[in-house]
């Protein structure tokens, strides 16, 4: 019997080259692809928004977002994705389809999006300047604070953008893009970042 290996490959596996990119020197932008996450779309069934919210509260110990925001819980990030729906982003198999199905049974429909997106984390002094080339969203700290989220588009491609917790005093922007568009958007991101210098990597950690 033939020997099959089932290696996973992120949509950016080929395009992402770890290391410096663009202008030499201190990198203005850090681009990190987060690989192998679980992402579950939760959509309340008709008239079941309240039940869904309760189920979410019980499961995550925090209320799911009802406006364009994210909620960071102990082991997941809940990202608003539309009226009465949100995404559950997690690592380590804690909140998979199988795990969440009983939680939302009868109150919400679940759809697995774990492989449907690539996740890119963007930080650095020039992160906002670079993102201004891609996004029409105002990312000024007074407007787009920690936890703010937007379902928007970049380079004619649908994305989910949110601001995570600051790291080393710097803003961190997270970007979910459809997997089949990821390589194309990645090249656009690199083009946008090149003049500031970028440091590129990938990580298994959220």
Q: What is the 3-state secondary structure (H, E, C) of 61-106?
A: CCCCCCCCEEEECCCCEEEEEECCEEEEEECCCCCCHHHHCCCCCC
| 61 vs 204, beta carbon nearer other proteins | 204
Q: Which of residues 65-124 bind other proteins (CB under 8 A)?
A: 109-117
How far apart are alpha carbons 120 and 201 in whole angstroms?
A: 10
Main-chain dihedrals φ then ψ at residue 85, nearest 5 degrees? -150, 150
Q: Please, which of residues 175-204 interact with other proteins by CB under 8 A?
A: 178-181, 183-185, 187-188, 191-192, 194-195
Q: Does 19 bind other proteins (CB under 8 A)?
A: no
Residue number with CB closer to other proteins (72 or 169): 169
* β-sheet bridge partners, residue 80: 86
Q: Is 169 in the site for other proteins (CB under 8 A)?
A: no
Given a contact cutoff of 8 angstroms between Cβ atoms, the answer to whether 92 and 173 are in contact is no
Helix (H) or strand (E) holding 50: helix 49-60
CA distance 184 to 193: 14
Q: For other proteins, give the closer residue by CB, 3 or 19.
A: 3
Contact mark string toward other proteins, 117..136, x via CB under 8 A: x-----------x--xx-xx
Between 9 and 19, whose beta carbon lies closer to other proteins?
A: 9
Residues 149-168 that bind other proteins (CB under 8 A): 155-157
d(CA 26, CA 48): 51
Question: Would you tell me which residues interact with other proteins (CB under 8 A)?
Answer: 1-11, 13-14, 22-23, 36, 41, 43, 45-47, 109-117, 129, 132-133, 135-136, 138, 140, 143, 155-157, 178-181, 183-185, 187-188, 191-192, 194-195
């Amino acid at each position: 019997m033939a020997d099959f290996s089932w290696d996973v490959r992120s949509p950016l596996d080929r395009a992402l080259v770890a290391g410096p990119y663009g202008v030499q020197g201190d990198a203005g932008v850090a681009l990190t692809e987060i690989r192998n996450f679980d992402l579950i779309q939760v959509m309340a069934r008709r008239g079941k928004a309240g039940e869904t919210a309760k189920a979410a509260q019980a499961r995550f110990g925090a209320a799911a977002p009802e406006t364009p925001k994210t909620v960071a819980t102990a082991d997941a990030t809940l990202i608003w994705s539309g009226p009465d729906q949100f995404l559950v982003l997690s690592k380590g198999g804690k909140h998979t389809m199988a795990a969440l199905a009983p939680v939302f049974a009868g109150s919400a429909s679940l759809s697995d999006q774990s492989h449907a997106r690539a996740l890119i984390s963007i930080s650095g002094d020039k992160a906002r300047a670079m993102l201004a080339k891609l996004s029409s969203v105002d990312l000024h700290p007074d407007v787009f604070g920690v936890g703010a989220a937007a379902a928007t588009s970049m380079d004619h491609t649908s994305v989910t953008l949110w601001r995570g917790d600051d790291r080393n005093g710097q803003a961190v922007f997270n970007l979910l893009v459809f997997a089949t568009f990821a390589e194309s958007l990645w090249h656009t991101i690199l083009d946008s970042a090149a003049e500031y210098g970028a440091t590129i990597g990938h990580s298994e950690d959220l």
